[in-house]
């Protein structure tokens, strides 16, 4: 059974390429075990603290079910008044109670500050910069659909947000090419993009940007999008709607992709905006397989971080 060499999972860059691949394979195996009604539990009961500064449905339920099925327990803190306390003090309190902490917040620095002093694993459940747990589920979905990741092309169309950031940082390491197309002024962070390009230079996956969504999608095996207005950017929703008008993923855009291509979305989605109202219900849509895989991918991650006694499947 997988044991990660890293203590924390913040951007995903902490794990090696081999470990990243092993996480995907472990997630697939744990999914099979669950679907045969068998159990797999950690070597000892563990407690997971979940801190939510941002509302959550998928992150909350998937982590809760994952930890419970592993024989552990979950404690939630929603909208905590953490700003009154320094991160280093918060984590020193929590590590006396729990075995790991999952944080979902807008502030990436808060997660780094917690990890700097924590003796228990810190897991990034989402920040404005990254969403690596989602990318684990995305990669699992692609491997289940195509049998391999090597040589696949994933095209991302839309806002250059945390979803795109994590795809750029992790997917090329496993041989997935990332093509992306974003409206002018809404591309990925240049700092994160440069990091991703450096990482990809030693891998088989390639990163390429395109002006036109049609060019980005041409021949792709997966077409991915996200909401045009993420949480915290609601004031710019009207401006964004205009800028993203030509970046909707719909049946016409999917026709440029490979015939076997799947549609991906991290959810929640706004039908009729970033995606047509009908595309999510077509056979090419893998979005609900993708959302289920949050459970299995995060279960694999918890095993890798907490299963220090090497219990096998």
Q: Helix or strand or coil: residue 230? A: coil
Longest dimension (CA), the chain: 54
Reading the block at residue 270, the tokens are 């706004």
Q: How confident is the model at residue 204 (pLDDT cuts 50, 70, 90)?
A: very high
Q: How confident is the model at residue 298 (pLDDT cuts 50, 70, 90)?
A: very high
Residues 82, 71: Cα–Cα separation, whole Å: 29
The topology under which CATH files domain 17-130+295-306 is: Rossmann fold (3.40.50)
Model confidence pLDDT, tens digit, residues 155-196: 999 999 999 999 999 999 999 999 999 999 999 999 999 999
Model confidence pLDDT, tens digit, residues 20-37: 999 999 999 999 999 997
Strand pairing class (207-209; 177-181): parallel
pTM confidence score: 0.96
> Averaged over 226-243, what is the pLDDT?
87
- Domain extents for the chain? 17-130+295-306, 132-291
> Averaged over 29-50, what is the pLDDT?
92
Reading the block at residue 51, the tokens are 């801190």
User: Domain spanning 132-291 has what CATH number?
Assistant: 3.40.50.1370
Residues 290, 58: Cα–Cα separation, whole Å: 11
Residues 206, 201: Cα–Cα separation, whole Å: 8
> Averaged over 279-303, what is the pLDDT?
99
**Do 17-130+295-306 and 132-291 have matching folds?**
yes
């Amino acid at each position: 059974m997988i044991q990660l060499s890293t203590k924390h999972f913040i951007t995903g860059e902490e794990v090696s390429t081999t470990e990243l691949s092993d996480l995907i394979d472990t997630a697939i195996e744990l999914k099979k075990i669950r679907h045969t009604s068998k159990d797999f539990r950690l070597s000892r009961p563990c407690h997971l603290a979940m801190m939510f500064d941002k509302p959550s449905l998928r992150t909350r339920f998937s982590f809760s079910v994952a930890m419970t099925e592993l024989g552990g327990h979950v404690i939630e803190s929603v909208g905590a008044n953490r700003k009154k306390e320094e991160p280093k003090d918060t984590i020193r309190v929590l590590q006396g109670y729990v075995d790991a902490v999952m944080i979902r917040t807008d502030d990436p620095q808060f997660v780094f500050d917690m990890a700097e002093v924590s003796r228990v694993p810190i897991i990034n459940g989402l920040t404005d910069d990254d969403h690596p747990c989602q990318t684990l589920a995305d990669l699992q979905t692609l491997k289940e659909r195509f049998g391999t990741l090597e040589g696949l092309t994933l095209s991302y169309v839309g806002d250059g947000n945390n979803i795109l950031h994590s795809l750029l940082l992790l997917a090329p390491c496993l041989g997935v090419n990332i093509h992306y197309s974003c409206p002018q002024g809404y591309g990925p962070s240049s700092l994160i993009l440069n990091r991703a390009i450096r990482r990809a230079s030693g891998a088989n996956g390639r990163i390429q940007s395109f002006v036109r969504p049609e060019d980005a999608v041409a021949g792709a095996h997966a077409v991915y999008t996200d909401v045009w207005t993420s949480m915290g950017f609601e004031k710019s929703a009207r401006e964004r709607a205009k800028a993203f008008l030509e970046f909707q993923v719909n049946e016409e855009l999917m026709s440029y992709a490979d015939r076997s291509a799947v549609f991906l979305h991290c959810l929640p989605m706004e039908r009729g905006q970033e995606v047509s109202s009908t595309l999510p219900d077509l056979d090419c849509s893998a979005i609900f397989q993708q959302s289920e895989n949050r459970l299995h991918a995060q279960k694999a991650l918890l095993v890798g971080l907490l299963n220090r006694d090497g219990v096998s499947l």
